[in-house]
Amino acid sequence: MQPVGRTPLPAILLSEAAQQLICSVFERSDLFRGLPAIRTRIVAWGPDAAPVALAHSAVVLSERELLVRLAPPEVCDQAGEPTRWTIHTSSPLPASVESLRFGGREASVVPVELKTGAEPEACWIESLERGWLFLITCGVGQGWLLAVGDDAEELVRASRLVAPQITHRGAAAGRFPATPRISTPLAGDGWLACGSAAMAFDPLCGDGTAHAVREAVLACAVIGAADEGEAVDRVVAHYQARLTAGFKRHLEHCLAYYRPGTQTSGGARNWTRSVREWRHAERR
């Protein structure tokens, strides 16, 4: 096992279903005990949409804290049994791999202070003309703001729902791509791509952490089958097909959200083009 060079995410929102999956895989019922909870989702999605409050069930933690809870550093650093398989969880991938990205939006993550009286167990989602905002609390008076599309300052200036919850914004932790991405191929003789090396989900409607766990479980099954004598090309093709199907569902899911939520025609065209590009890529 080798460490990855990717910067950990400062905040991850884990749904109840994701928590149950991870607890089941790691056989730990206490993994997410004591974390800040999100019990309400307040959404204003679409031109001139009125805010709607919905029940929610999730917890918030940083990627670094998640990794510590899953396995202490001293466990991660221990060498495992030698294997002829390599599982790539970050770049670099084999030279033959191509990265397909659908859309061109970027995002920034900004630490914020919330106004006195702001709901301590809520998140807010708001679509705007040039992007969208996602504000999530991570304790009393503290939160993280995800700004997708335009600059965070410009989006907050146009906001009717999210901006009133914030009293102070810190410095943005840089900008990063916030569009679906998939590697092709996802596997080969002796190697598999998993997690962020395999694909990235749009932050609006992707549960990337849970999907990465499912990929890891499938990767273990594929390697086990190959080691027991199954044809490598057959198990690799199965892995590729399963991950590809999950990514296609994600694209369609995103399209269903962005069509009604887009306040300019460009957003809807972006997603229609993305799905069309994906279908074309499959036929190559």
Q: Which CATH class is domain 9-80+106-177?
A: alpha beta
Q: For every one of its 284 residues, what pLDDT tens digit does the chain have, with 9 covering 90 and above?
A: 455 555 677 888 999 999 999 999 999 999 999 999 999 999 999 888 899 999 999 999 988 899 888 875 454 444 555 568 999 998 889 999 999 988 888 899 999 999 998 888 999 999 998 889 999 998 888 999 999 988 899 999 999 999 999 999 998 877 888 889 999 999 998 999 999 999 999 887 767 889 999 999 999 999 999 999 999 999 999 999 999 999 998 888 888 777 765 554 344 455 555 556 555 555 55
Q: Do residues 161 and 51 touch, judged by C-beta distance below 8 A? A: yes
Sequence spans of domains, the chain: 9-80+106-177, 81-104+179-284
Place of tokens 């919850």: 165
For residues 125-151, b (16+ Cβ closer than 10 Å) or e, as one string?
Answer: bbbbbbbbbbbbbbeeeebbbbbbbbe
Outline where DSSP puts E strands in 80-231: 86-88, 98-101, 106-114, 122-128, 131-137, 142-149, 166-169, 175-177, 181-184, 187-188, 191-193, 199-200
Q: Which CATH number fits domain 81-104+179-284: 3.40.390.10, 1.20.140.10, 3.65.10.10, 3.50.50.60?
A: 3.50.50.60
pLDDT, position 57: 93
The reported pLDDT for the residue numbered 265 is 37
Token pair of 86 as six digits: 């390599």
- Give me 276's structure tokens: 């069309």
CA distance 44 to 187: 40
- Tell me whether domains 9-80+106-177 and 81-104+179-284 share a fold: no
pLDDT of residue 266: 43
